[in-house]
Amino acid sequence: MNVPTKLTVLRIFLAVVVMVLLLFPFDMVGVEFPVVRTFIDLDLRYVIAGGIFLLASVTDFLDGYIARKYNLVTDRGKLLDSIADKILVNPILIIFAAEGYLPALVPVVIVGRDIVVNEIKMEAASKGKVVAAISSGKVKTAAMMVGMTLMFFQNLPFEYYGVRIDLFFIYFATIMSLVSMIQYYSQNKKILFSDDK
């Protein structure tokens, strides 16, 4: 494995660690995370998970940057990168929605969009065509990671001013996910409906 692929695998591992931190019933094994007192109460478990999520998000930028700069782009790397992004974002969005931090519509739209885009990519691949990532999809991913990082930290420091910047980025990313889905479809519909095998 080259360095970008190792960073992608690291992102998958970190995503699993974040999910364990958020879902494991620590209280049942006698582990209690203290609350950090500021002008709002911060759950230390979410602060730790947020730090790990931020680190994982940085690897998403680094693996692509290194792969492009040193000509290390591979089909395996592109596939793993796409999988890692979804493992990092989608389960945590579902957890946020289950905890009441987000409307359930957000993960429904994001997961639904991913299913449609993956189907477009797989259908194109079956006909020997490679569907490259598009700019609107990259904007969606970046905005979502910023919004989710802020949500882990209770929207600080913007919460102090009563401005929900975290939700702004997440809602913007949700809209961009639909925009990118439409673009993927419009750019590849000829391939999808062609008779080429």
- 3-state SS assignment for residue 24: coil
Compute the CA torsion angle 55, 148, 140, 163 (nearest 10 deg): -130
In a domain, 11, yes or no: yes
| Residue 161 to residue 113: CA distance in whole angstroms | 33
In a domain, 36, yes or no: yes
pLDDT of residue 82: 83
**Number of domains the chain is built from:** 1
Domain that holds residue 171: 3-192
| Residue 128 to residue 116: CA distance in whole angstroms | 19
Q: pLDDT tens digits, the chain, 197 residues: what are they?
A: 789 899 999 999 999 999 999 999 998 899 888 887 777 788 899 999 999 999 999 998 898 889 888 888 877 787 788 889 999 999 999 999 999 999 999 999 999 999 999 999 888 888 878 777 789 988 999 999 999 999 999 999 999 899 999 999 999 999 999 999 999 999 988 887 776 65
Cis peptide before 103 (omega within 30 of 0): no
Query: By C-alpha distance, which of 171, 60, 188, 174 is closest to 117?
Result: 188
In a domain, 179, yes or no: yes
In a domain, 131, yes or no: yes
What CATH number is associated with residue 148? 1.20.120.1760
The Cα diameter of the chain in Å comes to 62
Compute the CA torsion angle 187, 78, 119, 129 (nearest 10 deg): 50
Structure tokens at 93: 């969005």
Number of CB atoms found within 10 A of residue 127's CB: 12
Q: What is the DSSP letter of 159?
A: G
pLDDT of residue 41: 81
In a domain, 55, yes or no: yes
In a domain, 197, yes or no: no
In a domain, 150, yes or no: yes
pTM exceeding 0.85: yes
CA 28 from centre of chain: 29
